[in-house]
Structures are given as structure tokens and as C-alpha cells.
């Protein structure tokens, strides 16, 4: 059984009955290896469609949790259960629960490092006082506003006012939380949250692949929220210096906010400044200063390093890229594509109104970026297979479009591997309007292919 | 990936019930087991299938049963009809399974497990209608339909399912407006099965409950039985556990009875 990964959260969804025999069948060696290698911040098993389980049935998953935690420090646990299942799990494992339990997947997202919608008002209750505190701290660190009920009565009373809260959390347990560096995106800046003592472990806790992907897709400002950092040693110093040097290749900036040098050698600050890292007292010093944001590069997401011409190999593999996009859109819309033209020039979009776009980068033995520009109508149609119904909710459409482009990326990877070319794909990025896309692409040249699906115009652009 | 045209082609290729089987059913309907057995003896493939089926451990015979009249005699009218329908369903299965890791032996095993447990359920529910006994035979055809329609798009389906946990029935319904169980219904019509059979199958899909309470009750039991079987290691390994969506809430009111009957601890 393979996990479905979305927004850095990987979910296994077994169905039916979980006992010792069935669970081992759910997780063969290949699945375990694939799960271990997932770059997910959180790996969960959904119990939504499980009607029966016993301790032996859960144990195989728990063993997998330990392996994964040891290897990649992700948050691991179960989600999507009712009160009966929650109490059964607590009873099975009593005081030895090191994994987490999230009543719903949406609640799990609140605790994930990549959750995009911060500032949620959350009512929270657990009969365990230390759990209440731990969850409140984690949510607060994630940029939310937790309201902690101190008793069951208070919780029941507050819960009645459902409109007052975006989320209500109960029957949830935080085991060992992931010690990965939390990441969030604000506009065109990426904010990493670091805390405690920074040492050699930072290499494992920091998602370097995500950082590299962010550089590849055009982010240029990276802020380390370091209010809670106690001190750092020379290993962490080296890590940040190297990170800054590699960011410089992309003309990107790295900043530290709120870092105190009470317990860290002041010479470290000088070394980091020499490496190009900037220091600020408050986050608002950056985020609320538009002039400074412009200067640091957060107003533009143009990718400086990758301003390169298409090479021969990319052109040779062009049919694979186009096929990947066409096959996927044909699959999602169940309609036939007609290729109208293919030319090399700057990205040219004649009619910008009513269009949205998405891009995905790839890197490895080949590198570049595929951009798809859709009329909203065809984007909606393409997303219906994933959503299950027609929608006008632009946020939902963009979110689903990202999944769709992820499928295109996966297809590109597969088609290129058939030609013995190994590439990895970046996280997808979506654009609510064409102007923000053009800002990223700038004046780069690429191959533009105009296509039509059932008379809807669709644009494919490949650039480096 | 899959179009309505692909489905129409698949349905058009389903052969009608062969004359021997039709006549066998006719004789089983009037309870003439002897003549039915005599007729079935002439169809060597049917004979071989029935022998294979009833000699599986779940049928619990100490000695090998090889004579068709003996098989029909032991099974009785309802189970004989069910076994012949199982044979018909097996005729639709591919020579080589590509989407699911199945083969003829494991598919027959699934049919046998479902059939014997369905018999236990109907005995518990005190249901004697032989068409209801036969209904379980149509259920595995949904697996065959998935295999036939999706086997040419395995890479696409796999890629899609790594992004979103969609079952085959949902994908097919969203793409073509027709689900796996609608196709099973068309098979039932082609084979002139009793009307109640596709109704139970639809209800057993868990996504289209019937207005008839009795049919719905049977559908729930069949839905839960299907997932009980699809939670067995060999069928999980075959990739069948999530081929359709399990509706936990739909079956929650009968779960305790089911667990007792199946001795789940």
C-alpha cells in the first residue's frame, strides 16, 4: 500500500479489518522503504475506513513509525478515528505512546510544518493537562490562536458556539513531535522556525530538498525565525554559512530574526554576516517594510540563477514533456488535445483575463521548469476528477491544480526515466493570475506550445 | 484514460449465457438436480470448475467430490445455482491479470470464500431465496470490470492515486458517469439474472443504498463481507483492499452481529 502525499503529509488509508496478518500484508518491504524515503513532515495512518483493529494490527504500523522517526524525524501517528477507536488505542498502548493521534486529518494539518493557513482560532481540550499545554504551544508556534478549555465543562460550553472557532480539537494526543525545522510561506518569503540549541543535528532537521526546491521555483528571501534559539555551536555555524553561500548563487537572501547572542559567541554573528546573512530584531522589521522587502528580493520571485537557454538535450526530450502534460490533461478531462503551434520565444499570453497557471520545476540530469496556463474553465474541468464536483472556489481550484501539476511532474519523471534520464521534481506552484506568472518567468525564452482541449485554449511553456 | 466508448465495447463483448448453462439453470429452478447434473456433465469446463470449487478446504469435504450429480446433491438447489453463476462470472476473468495481482486460483478462492460466508450469513438471516444466494456470484465481476477497463492505464491510475486516494469506482464514475456496479447490472441483464440480484449488488456497493429495507439489509451484509475478505492478506497483496470505497458508517449497525457470526475477536 502506498501513501498519498499532500502538503508534506503522507497518509496510508487501509480499509476494513486490521489484525496482525492483514497489517503485514499492507506494508511489504517496498512500501516500508518508500515510506522511509518520503520527504514528508508527517506520516499518518488513517483509520477512517477501518472497522476493526486490534493491538497486533496496529503494531506493524507502530514499528514503521519508529523506523521512520529514527530516519527522518517526521511526526508519525494515526488519524481519522472516533472516540471509541481513540480510547481503544490509548488503552492498547497505555503509557507508552510515542506516536501522535489526530482526530481528523484537518487537525493533523494544523500541526504540520507546511500548513499554509495560519492564524486559525482553535478551541482545544484534553483531559491531560500537559497535553493541553503542549498542543497549545505547538499551535501557537505554528502561528495559530489556541483557546484552551481547562475543564470538560468549559469545553462543552465553549464548543456550543461553533461559529467562534475555525477548528475544535479534542481526542487528540501529541506524541514525540517532529523535530524538523518548521516551514511556512508568507508572500514570496519562506520562513523557517528554529529553536533550542542548534548543533550538527540541524543537518537532519532542516529539509534541504525543500529549500533547494524553493530556490529552483524562484523564492529569493528566506527568514529564520530564531526567537527561541538558545545558542548555536560551530557545526550549526558552518551549516548556515554554507546555506548562505549556496543561496547567493541564486541571488537569494537569508535573514535571521530575533537571534540573541547572550549564549552564542558574538564572533559567530560576524562570521555569518561575512557569509551574507542579515540580522533583524523583529519579524515585522522585514515583513512590514515594503522597501526593505523589495531590496531583499521578496517582491519579485524571478529566478536569477536559472536564466539559461534551452539546451540540445532539453529540446530532444521535448516530446516527453509535452506528452506528460497532454496525457495528464487528457486523462483528467477525458477530452482530446489538438496541438496548434510550437515555437521558441518569450512566454506570450495574448488574453490574460480568466486564466490561471501552475508551474513545476525539475532538476537532476536535466533541469528546467514546465508552466501550464489554463483558462479557468478547463482548469475547473481538469480538477473535477480530483474534487468530484464542479466548483467556483478559486482557492480549491488552485489547490487541486497544484495536485494536477504534480501528476504532470510525476509523468515527466517517468517518461524521462524511460530514456535513462533521472530527474527529481520540485513542489508545484500556482498563480491566481497571469501577471504573477510573468513576473517569475521574466524575459526567459522557452518552447511555447499552444493546444486546445474541446475548443478551450491551453498553453504549455518549457524553460530553464 | 477511459471513455464511455470503452465501457460500451467491454459490455458488447460480454457473451450471453451459453445454452447449456441456461438449460442447467432452468432445471435447477424447478429443482430437478439429477437432470441438471446430467446436463452440466456435458460441459467439461463447468465440470472442472465445480470440482475445483467444492473441493476447496472452506467447503469442508473430507474426501474428494468429483461427480457432478454428487456435487449438486450435496450443495442443494440454491448453492448449485450459486456455483454455476460463479462459473459464469469466472468466464469473464482475464487470462492474465495485470492491474491486480491475481490468477485463476486466487480468484476462484475469493469466489469460494465469499460464497461460503454468504451462505452462513443467509442461514443466520433465515433467508432461503435461491436468487439471493446467487447474488454473491455477481459481486466479483466488479473486480473483473476494473481489471478490464483500467489495465491499459495502470501507470496513469497509479500516478493519480498517489495524489488522491480515489477508488476505481469513483474514478470511473467521474470520468464516464457510469460506475463499476452499473456495469455489473448490465452483465446481470445480459445473463438474464433475476432483477433482485443487481439491486442487492448496487446496495452492496455502499454508495447507492436501496429504498427497499430488505434489499438494503442484504446489501450491508454483503458490503461488510466483501471488505472482510478484502482484508485477508492474499487479497490485500493483490491490491484489492481499496479497489472500491469501504463505507464504515453504512455497515456500523450490523457490525456486532457480523463480528459474532464470523468469530472476529
Mean pLDDT of A149-173: 93
Chain A interface, best mutation among B235, B236, B238, B244, by max A CB count within 10 A: B236
Question: Which positions in chain A touch B228 (Cβ < 8 Å)?
Answer: 16-17
Would you call B259 an interface residue with chain A, using a CB distance cutoff of 8 Å? yes
User: Which SS3 state, helix, strand or coil, does residue B128 take?
Assistant: coil
Domain boundaries, chain A: 4-169, 182-296, 312-463
Asked if B109 and B49 touch (Cβ cutoff 8 Å), the reply is: no
Mean pLDDT of B47-75: 90
Closest in B164, B230, B237 to A386, CB measured = B164
Would you call B154 an interface residue with chain A, using a CB distance cutoff of 8 Å? no
- Chain A residue with CA closest to B259: the answer is A52
CATH number 3.30.750.24 is the correct assignment for the domain at A4-169: yes
A350 vs A236, residue with greater confidence: A236
CATH classification code of A182-296: 3.30.750.24
Indicate yes or no: CB of B245 within 8 angstroms of CB of A49: yes
Q: Quick check: A306 pLDDT over 60?
A: no
- Model pTM score: 0.79
Count the Cβ atoms, other than its own, within 10 Å of residue A130: 9
* Smallest Cα distance from B172 to chain A, Å: 9
The number of C-beta contacts closer than 8 angstroms across A and B is: 102
HSE-CB at A428 with a 13 A cutoff on CA atoms is 24
What pLDDT band is residue A380 in, cutting at 50, 70 and 90?
Answer: confident
Q: Quick check: A179 pLDDT over 80?
A: no
Question: Looking at residue A195, what is its pLDDT?
Answer: 81
Indicate yes or no: CB of B163 within 8 angstroms of CB of A6: yes
In whole angstroms, give the CA distance from residue A90 to residue B126: 39
Which is it for strands A145-148 and A278-280: parallel, antiparallel or unpaired? Answer: unpaired
Closest in A18, A25, A388 to B174, CB measured = A388
Chain A interface, best mutation among B167, B206, B246, by max A CB count within 10 A: B246
What pLDDT band is residue B163 in, cutting at 50, 70 and 90?
Answer: confident
HSE-CB at B10 with a 13 A cutoff on CA atoms is 25
Chain A interface, best mutation among B114, B152, B163, by max A CB count within 10 A: B163
- Dump pLDDT digits (tens) for A96-120: 888 999 999 999 999 887 665 678 8
In whole angstroms, give the CA distance from residue B120 to residue B125: 9
- Dump pLDDT digits (tens) for A9-62: 899 999 999 998 888 888 877 777 777 777 778 899 999 999 999 999 999 889
Provide ipTM, 2 decimals: 0.86
- Dump pLDDT digits (tens) for A269-304: 999 999 899 999 988 888 878 778 777 766 555 544
- Chain A residue with CA closest to B6: the answer is A334
Mean pLDDT of B69-94: 92
| Those residues with Cβ within 8 angstroms of residue A256's Cβ, 6 or more apart along the chain or in another chain | A223, A224, A226, A272, A277, A278, A279, A280
Which triple of cell numbers denotes residue A461?
511553456
Among B63, B53, B61, residue whose Cα is nearest residue B112: B53
- Dump pLDDT digits (tens) for B182-207: 999 999 998 888 999 999 999 999 99
A-proximal residues of B, 165-184, CB under 8 Å: 165-166, 170-171, 174-176
Identical fold for domains A4-169 and A182-296, yes or no, is yes
What pLDDT band is residue A178 in, cutting at 50, 70 and 90?
Answer: low
Asked if A442 and A461 touch (Cβ cutoff 8 Å), the reply is: no
Asked if A354 and A376 touch (Cβ cutoff 8 Å), the reply is: yes
Question: Looking at residue A186, what is its pLDDT?
Answer: 64
Question: Which positions in chain A touch B153 (Cβ < 8 Å)?
Answer: 331
- Chain A residue with CA closest to B241: the answer is A15
Indicate yes or no: CB of B233 within 8 angstroms of CB of A25: yes
- Chain B residue with CA closest to A414: the answer is B155
Question: Looking at residue A307, what is its pLDDT?
Answer: 53
In whole angstroms, give the CA distance from residue A103 to residue A78: 8
In whole angstroms, give the CA distance from residue B192 to residue B182: 15
In whole angstroms, give the CA distance from residue B168 to residue B145: 10
Question: Looking at residue B81, what is its pLDDT?
Answer: 92
B154-163 and A394-418 helices, crossing angle to 10°: 140
CATH number 3.40.50.300 is the correct assignment for the domain at A312-463: no
User: Which SS3 state, helix, strand or coil, does residue B164 take?
Assistant: coil
Indicate yes or no: CB of A15 within 8 angstroms of CB of B242: yes
Mean pLDDT of B114-129: 95
Alpha-carbon Rg of chain A, whole angstroms? 24
Q: What angle do CA A350, A351, A356 make, to 5 degrees?
A: 115
Question: Looking at residue A55, what is its pLDDT?
Answer: 92
Would you call B261 an interface residue with chain A, using a CB distance cutoff of 8 Å? no
Amino acid at each position: 500500500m502506498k501513501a498519498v502525499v499532500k502538503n508534506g503529509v503522507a497518509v496510508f488509508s487501509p480499509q476494513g479489518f486490521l489484525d496482525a496478518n492483514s497489517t503485514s500484508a499492507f506494508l511489504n518491504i517496498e512500501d516500508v522503504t518508500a515510506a522511509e524515503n518520503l520527504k514528508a513532515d508527517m506520516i499518518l495512518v488513517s483509520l477512517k475506513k477501518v472497522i476493526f483493529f486490534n493491538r497486533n494490527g496496529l503494531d506493524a504500523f507502530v514499528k514503521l513509525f519508529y523506523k521512520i522517526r529514527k530516519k527522518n524525524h517526521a511526526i508519525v501517528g494515526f488519524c481519522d478515528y472516533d472516540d471509541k477507536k481513540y480510547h481503544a488505542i490509548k488503552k492498547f498502548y497505555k503509557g507508552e505512546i510515542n506516536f501522535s493521534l489526530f482526530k481528523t486529518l484537518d487537525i493533523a494539518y494544523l500541526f504540520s510544518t507546511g500548513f499554509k493557513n495560519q492564524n486559525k482560532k482553535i478551541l482545544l481540550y484534553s483531559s491531560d493537562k500537559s497535553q493541553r499545554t503542549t498542543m497549545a504551544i505547538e499551535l501557537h508556534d505554528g502561528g495559530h490562536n489556541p483557546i484552551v478549555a481547562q475543564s470538560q465543562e468549559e469545553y462543552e460550553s465553549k464548543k456550543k458556539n461553533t461559529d467562534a472557532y475555525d477548528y475544535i480539537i479534542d481526542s487528540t494526543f501529541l506524541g514525540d513531535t517532529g523535530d524538523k525545522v518548521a516551514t511556512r510561506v508568507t508572500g514570496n518569503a519562506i520562513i523557517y522556525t528554529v529553536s533550542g540549541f542548534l548543533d550538527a543535528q540541524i543537518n537532519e532537521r532542516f529539509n534541504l530538498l525543500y529549500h533547494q526546491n524553493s530556490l529552483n521555483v524562484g523564492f529569493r528571501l528566506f527568514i529564520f525565525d530564531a526567537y527561541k534559539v538558545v545558542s548555536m555551536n560551530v557545526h550549526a555555524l558552518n551549516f548556515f554559512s554554507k546555506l548562505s553561500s549556496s543561496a547567493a548563487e541564486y541571488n537569494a537572501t537569508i535573514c535571521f530574526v530575533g537571534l540573541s547572542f547572550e549564549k552564542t559567541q558574538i564572533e559567530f554573528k560576524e562570521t555569518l554576516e561575512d557569509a551574507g546573512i542579515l540580522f533583524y530584531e523583529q519579524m515585522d522589521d522585514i515583513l512590514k517594510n515594503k522597501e526593505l522587502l523589495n531590496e531583499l528580493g521578496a517582491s519579485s520571485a524571478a529566478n536569477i540563477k536559472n536564466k539559461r537557454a534551452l539546451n540540445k538535450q532539453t529540446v530532444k526530450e521535448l516530446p516527453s514533456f509535452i506528452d506528460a502534460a497532454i496525457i495528464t490533461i487528457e486523462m483528467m478531462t477525458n477530452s482530446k488535445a489538438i496541438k496548434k503551434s510550437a515555437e521558441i520565444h518569450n512566454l506570450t499570453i495574448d488574453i490574460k483575463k480568466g486564466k490561471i497557471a501552475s508551474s513545476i520545476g525539475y532538476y537532476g540530469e536535466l533541469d528546467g521548469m514546465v508552466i501550464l496556463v489554463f483558462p479557468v474553465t478547463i482548469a475547473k474541468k481538469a480538477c473535477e476528477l480530483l474534487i468530484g464536483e464542479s466548483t467556483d472556489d478559486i482557492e480549491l481550484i488552485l489547490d487541486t491544480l497544484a495536485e494536477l501539476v504534480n501528476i504532470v511532474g510525476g509523468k515527466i519523471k517517468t517518461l524521462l526515466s524511460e530514456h535513462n534520464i533521472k530527474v527529481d521534481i520540485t513542489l508545484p506552484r500556482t498563480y491566481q493570475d497571469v501577471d504573477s506568472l510573468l513576473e517569475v518567468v521574466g524575459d526567459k525564452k522557452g518552447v511555447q506550445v499552444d493546444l486546445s482541449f474541446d475548443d478551450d485554449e491551453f498553453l504549455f511553456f518549457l524553460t530553464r | 484514460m477511459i471513455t464511455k466508448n470503452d465501457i460500451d465495447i467491454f459490455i458488447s463483448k460480454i457473451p450471453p449465457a451459453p445454452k447449456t448453462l441456461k438449460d442447467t439453470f432452468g432445471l435447477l429452478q424447478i429443482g430437478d438436480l439429477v437432470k441438471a447434473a446430467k446436463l452440466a456433465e456435458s460441459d467439461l469446463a463447468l465440470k472442472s470448475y465445480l470440482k475445483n470449487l467444492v473441493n476447496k478446504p472452506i467447503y469442508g469435504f473430507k474426501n474428494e467430490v468429483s461427480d457432478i450429480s454428487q456435487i449438486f446433491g450435496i450443495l442443494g438447489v440454491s448453492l448449485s445455482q450459486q456455483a454455476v453463476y460463479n462459473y459464469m462470472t469466472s468466464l469473464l476473468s482475464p487470462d492474465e491479470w495485470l492491474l491486480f495481482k491475481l490468477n485463476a486460483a486466487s480468484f476462484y478462492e475469493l469466489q469460494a470464500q465469499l460464497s461460503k460466508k454468504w451462505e452462513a450469513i443467509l442461514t443466520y438471516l433465515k433467508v432461503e431465496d435461491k436468487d439471493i444466494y446467487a447474488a454473491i456470484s455477481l459481486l466479483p465481476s466488479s473486480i473483473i470490470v476494473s481489471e478490464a477497463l483500467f489495465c491499459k492505464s495502470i501507470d496513469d491510475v497509479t500516478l493519480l492515486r498517489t495524489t488522491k486516494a480515489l477508488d476505481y469506482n469513483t474514478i470511473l464514475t467521474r470520468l464516464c458517469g457510469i460506475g463499476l456496479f452499473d456495469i455489473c447490472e448490465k452483465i446481470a441483464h445480459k445473463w438474464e439474472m433475476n432483477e433482485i440480484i443487481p439491486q442487492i449488488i448496487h446496495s452492496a456497493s455502499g454508495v447507492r443504498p436501496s429504498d427497499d429495507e430488505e434489499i438494503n439489509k442484504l446489501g450491508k451484509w454483503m458490503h461488510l463481507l466483501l471488505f472482510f475478505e478484502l482484508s485477508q492478506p492474499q487479497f490485500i497483496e493483490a491490491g484489492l483492499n481499496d479497489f472500491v470505497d469501504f463505507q464504515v458508517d453504512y455497515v456500523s449497525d450490523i457490525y456486532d452481529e457480523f463480528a459474532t457470526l464470523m468469530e472476529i475477536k
